[in-house]
Structures are given as structure tokens and as C-alpha cells.
Amino acid sequence: MSEVKTLSVSSSPHIRGKRTTRNIMLDVILALVPALVGGVVFFGWRALVLTLVSCAACVFFEWGYRKIMKLDCTVGDLSAIVTGILIAFVLPVSTPIWILIIGDAFAIIFVKQLFGGIGQNFMNPALAARAFLLISWPVALTNWTANKLVDAATSATPLAEGVSAESIKLLDLFLGKTGGCIGEVSAMLLLIGGLYLVIRRVISVRIPLSFIGTVALLAFVFPQNGCDRLYSMGFQGLSGGVMLAAIFMATDYVTSPVTHWGQILFGIGCGALTIFIRYFGSYPEGVSFAILLMNACVGIFDRIGRKKRFGEVKQKEGAAK
């Protein structure tokens, strides 16, 4: 019986796949790098400073909260860094650093940790922080600094300007030659990151495609201010935070459905609400509120999307015979 002390006893399975929470988060961080580089090119070094400060603050708040509450330290899973990057990405580059840090604290402590930490929050921390800051300091959050690649001294985001004149070239929107928040302006760089995540199987295309597809479809069917349908479609899909939100925010594991049909319905809901808020709401941008509202419905979508029980279909068929 000498083995009793030396042999390990555990439940099957005894092997594990290569994926860990940490390496998934690392992939997401890597996927955000192109957009971060874009942010620096478009808005200057302050974009990088804000992003780094935001990451540091998020990690600090997460570490501090878990320490004070005597919980296990979850900083190593890197999810706080993802949240930190995303919070910086949805703020204008001129945002004061103290406002940014308040946003970080709100996201990590109130939205994430008070509900139990990673995996337990029902709202996307970065978007909740943005919504919180937008309501609290609306002026600071809508102070659009000029994109260095755009001539105009100061320019609002295209969404605030409206689409009356078809004055904004879709190619500029795609490349990122436009005003906006640090990480949201270049659809191209965000798509590169999204493609990487899909190839690495971190996310599926279900949520981004149904989200962007719904935005594009509604913009095509209901063009605003009489502009060209195709232009309206491209404009609504490429402007504002749609790409960033559809690829990196709506696909947040914790706050999105796990079933395939649930994910598709979730994406459609996000897209429809985005257009609804943009067209009829008092805010020019509706993406963050759209996702936050849909976050609250994840349970319903998962119930609708649940797969058929194994063997149930055939049983009924057999009974019919």
C-alpha cells in the first residue's frame, strides 16, 4: 500500500486542453494592439498614456479589492487589463486622467467585483463605466479632439454631425481618418483584431456578424435625411463604436449568451437598439446603451437558444409512428 501516499487520485478527465483564461485574455489584448497603434497615430501619445494608466488602475483596483476582501487574487487572469484597455478605448483622448481613473474604479469595483468578480458580472464593465462617465461628465466625454490625419481644427464625431451632406468619405471612416474615441475610429484595425480572434477561436462570428449585419440592414432600409441607401449602410456600420463594440464588447464571454441562437438573437438585438437610439434618442451614439440593455437579457436569449435535448426529437417521431 506504499502507493497510497505517492499516487495522485482525482476525477476524470486527466488531461486538459491548452486554453486557459489567461491565454484567452492575452489573445484579446493582442487583438486590441492594432487599434491601440491606430489610436496613437490618430490622437498622439496621450492615447497610449491613457491606455496604460487605465490598465494599471484596473489591475490595482482588482488587486486591492480582492486583497481587502480576503479573496483569491485574480489579477493573473489578465481580464482587468482587457477592461482597462477597453475603458480607455471608449473615451476621447482629451479625457482628464482623474475621470478615467474614476471610470476604472467604477468598472472594476462596482460592476465586476461587487457581483463576485470575473465571470459573475452581468454588465460589460467597460461599457458600464463609459455610460457612468457619460452621464456624470457629459462635456468632458464629448470633447472631440481632432484626429491628426484630419485637416479641420476641431471636428465632432461624424455621428454628432449627422449624415445630411454625405460629407464624410466611407473610406476615411474605414481607415480611421475621423474624430472619435481612442480605440473606435478605425474599422480596418479593429477588423484585423477581430479576424485574429476568430482564427484563434477566441470568439465566433455569430455576435459580430449579426450585430453589424442588423445595423447595416436597418440603415439600408431606413436611410436618414434622404441620403443614399448604400451610403447610409456603410456610414452607420463604420462610424461610431459599432466595430469596437461588435467585435470586442458584445462578444465579452461573461455578458453574452453561450448558445448559438442566443448569440445571434443577442447580436440582432444590439444592432437594432443601436440604430433605434441613434435615430430617436438624444445621444448621438447608441452602441454602449444598446449592449448594456442586451446584457440584461442574456438569460432569456440562452433559454430561447438552448439546444434540443439529445434523443427527444426521435422519441416523438417514434411515437408518431
Partner 1 sequence: MARSFFGGVHPKDMKYLSCDAPITVFPTPKTVTIPMSQHIGAPCKPLVKVGDHVLLGQKIGDNQGLCVPVHASVSGTVKAIEDLPHTNGINMLAIVIENDFEDALDPSVSPRENVDSLSAEQLMDIIREAGIAGMGGATFPAHAKLSSGLQKVDTVIVNAAECEPYITADDRLMREMPEKIIKGLRVVMKIFGLSNAYIGMEDNKPEAAASLKKAIGDDITLCVLHTRYPQGAEKQMIQSITGRQVPPGGLPAAVGCAVFNCATCAAICDAVYDGLPLVRRVVTVTGRAIETPKNYLVPIGTSFRELIDSCGLKEAAYKVLSGGPMMGFTQYDLSVPVIKGTNAVTVFSQKDRVAEKNPHCIRCGRCVDTCPMNLMPLNLYKAERQNDTEALDKLHIMDCIECGCCAYGCPAGIPLVQSFRSAKQKLRNEQQKQKEAVK
Binding interface with partner 1 (CB under 8 A): 1, 3-4, 6-17, 19-21, 23-24, 72, 74, 76-77, 79, 117-119, 253-254, 256-259, 302, 306-315, 318
| Cell output for 245 | 463594440
Amino acid 92 reads P
Provide the minimum distance between the beta carbon of 142 and partner 1 in the complex, in angstroms, as a whole number: 33
Residue closer to partner 1 by CB (options 256, 288) is: 256
Residue closer to partner 1 by CB (options 148, 306) is: 306
N- to C-terminal Cα distance for the chain? 58
178 class by beta-carbon count within 10 Å (0-12 exposed, 13-18 middle, 19+ buried):
buried
Residue closer to partner 1 by CB (options 251, 288) is: 251
Residue closer to partner 1 by CB (options 70, 309) is: 309
Provide the minimum distance between the beta carbon of 27 and partner 1 in the complex, in angstroms, as a whole number: 11
With beta carbons less than 8 A apart as the criterion, state whether 90 and 292 touch: no
Provide the minimum distance between the beta carbon of 14 and partner 1 in the complex, in angstroms, as a whole number: 4
Provide the minimum distance between the beta carbon of 104 and partner 1 in the complex, in angstroms, as a whole number: 20
Provide the minimum distance between the beta carbon of 303 and partner 1 in the complex, in angstroms, as a whole number: 10
Residue closer to partner 1 by CB (options 120, 136) is: 120
